[in-house]
Chains A and B, each alone.
Chain A
Amino acid sequence: MSNLLSLSDYLPEMILLGVILIAIVMDLVPATKRFTKGFILVGLILVAAFLYQGDTSASSLFMGMSAHDPFGTFFKWLFIIATFFVVLIAKYDDGMDQSIAAEFNILLLIVMFGLFLMATATNLVMVYLAIETVSISSYILAGMLRNDIKSNEASLKYVIFGAFASGLMLYGFSWLYGLSGSTDLTIIRDVLMTQEGPVFVVYISILMVLVGIGYKLSMVPFHYWTPDVYEGAPTPLTAYLSVAPKAAGLALMIRFFTMTFTDGAGETVANVDWTVLIAVLSAITMTVGNLLALRQENVKRLFAFSSIAHAGYMLMVIPVISTDSSAAIMFYLVPYLFMNLGAFFVAIAVSNHTGSYDLAGWKGLGKRTPLLAALMVIFLVSLTGLPPTAGFIGKVYLFSVLIKHQQFYWLAVVAVINSVIALFYYFRIVREMYFTDSDDTEPLRPHPILTWSIISCVIPVLVLGLYWSPVIDWVTASLKMF
């Protein structure tokens, strides 16, 4: 579709840009400064409304740069929900510098815009632009607490690893362009399918694309930044990073690996068998994530490694080239979004009281604040993947893909062993909360908005554990890609 015609399908993004610009101006004017956050929240609801209104057909926008398809729309919903929660909560984290709260929210919206582009990009130029939009804003966000040495260090590590990974990815892009003569993903696939290109060069390019996307997913061995950035960054941002850019990375992974590097019928392009590579990396990712999580004493680091492990679980089905694997990943992302955000919000509530993220601060929480502790247990049960929570259903779908297609059984075995390891460190938190006593018996008094946000995160985790067919229907309807 031509540029002008495309704009009608681009309303949510345009509204979002408008909200960003108005919010920047509002924050500058003293009279409207205090309404900025409210305006941003209303703006997000407006974006959601326009996204809901948009038509469900799949079309190509801006001369093949970007796609308008149900697949991208599904991910956009996840980004809107995550951003809404984090903007809502950011103010109630005592670790945040309140004088820059508006900048934090606005940068978060810019990241969200980048994520929108990432989930819909169908051209190498657009992929690169989207990843950089997300990354550059995230670097600033991670280093937002300027006088906090940890935050500074987090952003330094983030920017060095991030720029390095996107440089490698770019070099891979340049070879893909050289091999196919186009930056359009569909044309690249067609050329790689028909031409007998040099296999080695194709393999190297695919590997380099994997570096760039793997970095966003914090896939081993590109995960080194994850624990440090998660620990040093402001916690609302950590919660956001563990969910939204990861979902966008998976969207990109699906577009690249199950769409571009395959012929659409289960065969890989140009005789380059990347499936085994990803299978092995996914097994290593979940194992490394879970094993290193065992010895963490800091809750944020613990959840950083837990999020690495979850990336491993989701990557597990990518080697099975089928729409089933995309559906399983997309289904898993829905409970993952809520349980991870919820767990981080409980961590914020606890650290507001104790002033740190040490696991020791969780002692006796079951007696001090029964509600928070009970909600945390639900999140942890779901993260482990035990019934009757949504995390269990999500894992069942992931495993069923491997079983149904009768490929990579060993990967399923590794994942089951890993789920057992995960039980140890998740239940260490439960043990701290219920079976150890603390000298501090003062109950926690989190702000009502924080409490209600945690409760609204727990509802989908429980409900989807018992009644998940609407989400499955939604995912199945969203598989259509351009």
Chain B
Amino acid sequence: MDNLTSYLVISGILFSLGIFGVMTRRNGVAILMGIELILNSASLNFVAFNRFGGMHRLDGHVFSIFIIVLAAAEAAVALAIIINLFKNLETVNVDQADSMKG
């Protein structure tokens, strides 16, 4: 576990799992979890590239901190919206939010 490739493989797996989660889950909260996995895979990539890529500056580490902060903000807003959906529809299933079509 001390080379770039293994980190990239792990982040690739996380990324694929995230995409799979977003595509297959119908529960709003589960979709959010999939999105978090995607963001984390990007974070992991940044940190791994910074650590093993021979870069002198800390751009990657700083970027991953920004990702964590913004992911939290995004999750807060998204959860608020899903709670509101639950209040209106009594479900968090995104398929049932289908009043608009065409």
Contacts and interface: CB of A to CB of B under 8 A. Distances in A.
Interface of A: 124-125, 128-129, 132, 135-136, 139-140, 143, 146-147, 149-150, 152-157, 159-160, 163-164, 167-168, 170-171, 173-175, 177-178, 181-183, 227-228, 231-232, 292, 295-298, 301
Contacts of A228: 100
B9 interface: no
Contacts of A227: 100, 102
A63 to B, nearest CB: 11
B17 interface: no
Contact of A159 (B53, B78, B99): B78
A159 B66 contact: no
Given A156-B94, A171-B41, A296-B102, A136 B73 contact: yes
Nearest to B48: A178
7 contacts: A136-B70, A160-B28, A167-B42, A174-B43, A177-B59, A178-B49, A183-B63
Across chains A and B, which 9 residue pairs bring their CB atoms closest together, nearest first? A174-B45, A167-B38, A178-B49, A170-B42, A153-B97, A163-B35, A171-B42, A159-B78, A174-B42
B19 to A, nearest CB: 8
Interface of B: 11, 15, 18, 22, 28, 31-32, 35, 38-39, 41-43, 45-46, 49, 53-55, 57, 59-60, 62-63, 66-67, 70, 73-74, 77-78, 81-82, 84-85, 88-89, 94, 97-100, 102
A156 B42 contact: no
Contacts of A298: 102
B77 A160 contact: no
B60 A177 contact: yes
Contacts, number: 125
A227 to B, nearest CB: 7
Contacts of B15: 171
Nearest to B64: A174
A155 B82 CA distance: 9
Contacts of A295: 102
B78 A174 contact: no
Given A125-B66, A146-B84, A177-B46, A232 B100 contact: yes
Contacts of A139: 77-78, 81
Contacts of A183: 59-60, 63
A125 B69 CA distance: 12
B31 to A, nearest CB: 6
A208 to B, nearest CB: 10
B27 to A, nearest CB: 11
Given A147-B88, A160-B32, 13 more contacts: A125-B59, A132-B74, A135-B74, A136-B73, A139-B81, A146-B84, A155-B81, A157-B97, A164-B38, A167-B42, A177-B49, A178-B53, A298-B102
A128 B99 contact: no
Contacts of B39: 167, 170
Given A156-B94, A167-B35, A140 B100 contact: no
A297 B102 CA distance: 9
A296 B100 CA distance: 12
Contact of B38 (A153, A154, A168, A181): A168
Nearest to A126: B66
B28 A156 contact: yes
Nearest to B76: A136
Contact of B88 (A125, A149, A182): A149
Contacts of A128: 63, 66-67, 70
A128 B65 CA distance: 12
Given A132-B74, A136-B74, A163-B74, A153 B42 contact: no
Contact of B18 (A150, A167, A182, A292): A167
Contacts of B38: 164, 167-168, 170-171
B35 A164 contact: yes
A159 B77 contact: yes
A153 B85 CA distance: 7
A298 B100 CA distance: 10
Contacts of B46: 174, 177
Contact of A140 (B28, B43, B66, B77): B77
A170 B40 CA distance: 10
A164 B45 CA distance: 17
Contact of A175 (B28, B32, B45): B45
Given A167-B38, A178-B53, A231-B100, A129 B66 contact: yes
A83 to B, nearest CB: 21
A297 B31 CA distance: 31
Contacts of A154: 100
Contacts of A231: 100
Contacts of B99: 149-150, 153
B84 A143 contact: yes
A295 B81 CA distance: 30
A297 B100 CA distance: 12
Between B31, B98, B102, the greatest number of chain A beta carbons within 10 A of the residue's beta carbon is seen for B102
Nearest to A159: B78
Contacts of B100: 150, 153-154, 227-228, 231-232, 301
A345 B77 CA distance: 29
Given A163-B32, A168-B38, A177 B63 contact: yes
Q: Which of B22, B39, B63 has the most CB of A within 10 A?
A: B63
